[in-house]
Amino acid sequence: MTRLSPFRWWHISEALPIEEDLFGAERWSAGMFWNELANGHYYLAALDSSDALIGYAGLAVAPPDEAWVQNVAVRRDAQRSGIGRTLLTALLAEAARRRVRSVLLEVAVDNAPAQRLYAAYGFEPIGVRRGYYQPSNTDALVMQAELEPARESEQTKNG
């Protein structure tokens, strides 16, 4: 059974082999993860029943109403089991809670499975960043979804 928890510094060492396997030369370094956490970005860890990291995802909110999905990664042996969807759903819920109206992300133009996942959640292509992923010089498709911010409670509205 998978559970989500806040991604913490001690998850970084478990994230690095996942990065290496999934992204090779374009993987994130430990320093990049440390920087994300130090900047207060919203990160989640997907943990298995033994608390091993099997996936993670991050969201950077750019006030007042924009956010960027920084990454969504699931360990290869745990893919196609709904973990990526669970992580993305949680990121979008957090974005809505923070009254974000527009969520953006970059995805490699040759990563059709990820593009299908994002499209299923309302993301649409809005542009291309040429040579975004280095060192492969792979283009990134920029995708955007418009959100309905979380509703205020009735007490807040009436009070």
Q: Kindly report which listed range (22-26, 140-144, 146-150) carries the lowest average pLDDT score.
A: 146-150
φ, ψ dihedrals at 123, nearest 5°: -75, 135
> What's the pLDDT tens digit per position in 106-128?
999 999 999 999 999 999 999 99
pLDDT of 155 reads 40
Position 159 confidence tier, pLDDT thresholds 50, 70, 90: very low
Give the single-character DSSP code of 11. G
Residue 145's identity, in one-letter code, is: A
Cβ distance 72 to 122 under 8 Å?
no
Tell me the C-alpha distance between 104 and 68, whole Å.
Answer: 5
Give the number of other CB atoms < 10 A from CB of residue 132. Answer: 18
Tell me the C-alpha distance between 55 and 18, whole Å.
Answer: 8
What would the two tokens of residue 17 be? 């082999």
Instruction: State the pTM of this model.
Output: 0.90
- Per DSSP, the three-state class of 58 is strand
Cβ distance 99 to 149 under 8 Å?
yes
Q: Is the dihedral of CA 114, 109, 76, 15 positive or negative?
A: negative
Cβ distance 48 to 54 under 8 Å?
yes
